């Protein structure tokens, strides 16, 4: 049996705005996130975890930030590409686990919607998609409220 695990990590700083987009869900907040695309740190991290499991580089290799066509792009485009690449390479995504690291906004009230959005894009059952959060106990840039970090793991099985 060919089982592969991939990890992803991403960070985005807070900037101007009235919401953040996390795992495909717009969450009201006093700031937005800064990035070349929509800065969805959760979706970027899961995308990288899938690319990692496939040994196919990272999101920046597939969608270079130097390419103006990706300016402001919605991150579901990137995640769908990773899912399709896995399928084309003969793999099924078994599950994804995404941990958002931030002091705010609070993730709990939005985690069910985030899981649903990620499940729809990946084609997974909801019980195979985890979206959760933790703080960094006020340490580092996330603790100072300067941005959001995220880690994710994806498990793939050759079909």
Report the CATH number that the domain containing residue 45 is assigned in CATH. Answer: 3.30.1330.50
- Cα 89 to Cα 14: distance, rounded to the nearest angstrom: 36
C-alpha distances in angstroms, 120 versus 9, 29, 54, 117?
22, 24, 21, 5
Q: Look up the pTM and report it.
A: 0.96
Q: What confidence score (pLDDT) does residue 9 get? A: 98
pLDDT tens digits, the chain, 159 residues: what are they? 899 999 999 999 999 999 999 999 999 999 999 999 999 999 999 999 999 999 999 999 999 989 999 998 999 999 999 999 999 999 999 999 999 999 999 999 999 999 999 999 999 999 999 999 999 999 999 999 999 999 999 999 998
Residue-level length of the chain? 159
Q: What confidence score (pLDDT) does residue 133 get? A: 97
Instruction: Phi first, then psi: give them for residue 28, nearest 5 degrees.
Output: -60, 135
Domain count of the chain? Answer: 1
Range of the domain at 101: 3-158
C-beta atoms surrounding 7 within 10 Å: 14
């Amino acid at each position: 049996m060919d089982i592969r695990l991939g990890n992803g990590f991403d960070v985005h700083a807070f900037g101007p705005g009235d919401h953040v987009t996390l795992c495909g869900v717009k969450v009201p907040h006093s700031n937005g996130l800064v990035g070349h695309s929509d800065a969805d740190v959760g979706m970027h991290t899961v995308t990288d975890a899938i690319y990692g499991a496939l040994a196919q580089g990272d999101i920046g290799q597939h969608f270079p930030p130097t390419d103006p066509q990706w300016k402001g792009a919605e991150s579901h485009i990137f995640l769908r590409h990773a899912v399709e690449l896995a399928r084309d390479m003969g793999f099924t995504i078994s599950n994804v686990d995404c941990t958002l690291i931030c002091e705010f906004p609070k993730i709990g009230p939005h985690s069910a919607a985030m899981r649903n959005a990620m499940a729809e894009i990946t084609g997974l059952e909801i019980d195979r998609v985890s979206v959760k959060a933790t703080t960094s106990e006020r340490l580092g840039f996330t603790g100072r409220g300067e941005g959001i970090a995220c880690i994710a793991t994806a498990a793939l099985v050759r079909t």
